[in-house]
Amino acid sequence: MAAKHSLASALRTVRKARGLSQEDFSDVSSRTYMSVLERDLKSPTLSKLSDICEVLDIHPVTLLALAYGGGAPAGANDVLDKVREELLELGDVPAE
């Protein structure tokens, strides 16, 4: 799966869906850095991704699922289901 190329797209899609500008991330990042991420010129660290996701009000795993799913809700749901199955196998998530 080529998530690197779609993380930029997922980030931009969620930011726009939330009605946020790149300047709205000024507490955690510069507008320039957000632009660089959205143009896929750099990849964020896990720590920075977590900070950005707090502003987006989305869990980092959800953003990554959107990236791996290509931004399509059905694809993202498939990825989230797979993550949940793997966590259940590890015993890290209680069964519903």
pLDDT in tens, 73-84: 566 667 667 777
pLDDT at 76: 60
Residue 49 domain flag: yes
Task: Tell me how far apart the alpha carbons of residues 39 and 36 are, in angstroms, rounded to a whole number.
Answer: 5
Instruction: Express each pLDDT in 52-67 by its tens digit.
Output: 999 999 889 888 888 8
How many folded domains does the chain comprise?
A: 1
84: domain CATH number is: 1.10.260.40
- Residues 11/17, Cβ–Cβ less than 8 Å: no
Residue 96 lies in a domain: no
95 in a structural domain: no
pLDDT of the residue at 65: 83
The range of the structural domain enclosing residue 81 comes to: 3-90
The verdict on residue 53 lying in a domain is yes
87 and 94 Cβ atoms separated by less than 8 Å: no
